[in-house]
Structure 1
Amino acid sequence: MTQARPISIFLPSDADTTRLGAWFAPRLRAGDTILLSGSIGAGKSHFARALIRARLGRVEDIPSPTFTLVQTYEADVEIWHSDLYRLSHPDEVLELGLDEAFATAICLIEWPDRLASLTPETAISITLSAQGEGRLAVITATSQDDLLATLQRDWVK
């Protein structure tokens, strides 16, 4: 399958990043994975927190999984939020149980380059980078054509 043309969305504020995370929340299902890339402070955790809170339907403390590596949340579908920054080898992903979660949960993965060959082929990739006073989100996927078309319609002016 070929990769679709990337969708670029400028997010002028943290509130816009929150809106994008909330936009994704009801549209994901078990087996969906979002790969969140970008430098430290780019907004990966901010996006993930917004998505998780929106899916849970309540305000909840969403700690960064930087030190725990994985935080899970019970919603209508289990959500796994992972920060793989501290992993030194892709085999450590298997020890976390992420390979099984990819099939049964919604997975939000920060520092997905650590997955190497374990990266799900159908994952949605979101790369966040600073741009002026805001940030730029570049979204790509090899599947999810309907989701990407709706994203294009709703967000790209």
Structure 2
Amino acid sequence: MDFTHLQLSGFMAILNFLLENLSTKHITLEDNIKELGRAMAGIGESHSEKSGGLDFFSVDQAKAIINYLKISLFQHYKLYEYLFHKPREELVIGDEEIDQECHPEGLQPETESLDIDPMAGFTTEDVKSVLGQITTEIIGSLQTEINEKLQMQEEAYTMRIDKLKNT
């Protein structure tokens, strides 16, 4: 979109604001969309009293921002809620055994190991693969749950329709 520095800063502020609402304030999708509407109010209007302070965006840029947020944040809102609010287990793989094998006399390695990057051995493809698996599992379970609820509603409506036909 060839944003200026001010516009880029404004876009990042919007994104930070929406993510902050989700992560710390536990705001629902509907309320967060309303907050975005309040922030974007007045764009394209000269001297609007309901301005959200983002007058430096054009209407087309505001539409592009909203479309981006729709396909990135809002479409995957449940996933972000899961990410921010569900506790995750820490997985420790044989750290104590490795230390004992490498240092059988009980000598511990020096503190230089504290500076090692925990992501050093992973490639971008590894991270994408893991995220893809997690996303597939979460979306699959949500889709199964939705399908079950729809099935139950369909059966209830079918029974109601059959009762109406019989009377």
- Settle same-fold status: TM greater than 0.5: no
TM-score (norm 2): 0.22
- Flag the structure with larger Rg: 2
Structure showing the higher helix proportion among its residues: 2
| Bigger RCO (CA 8 Å, 6+ sep) | 1
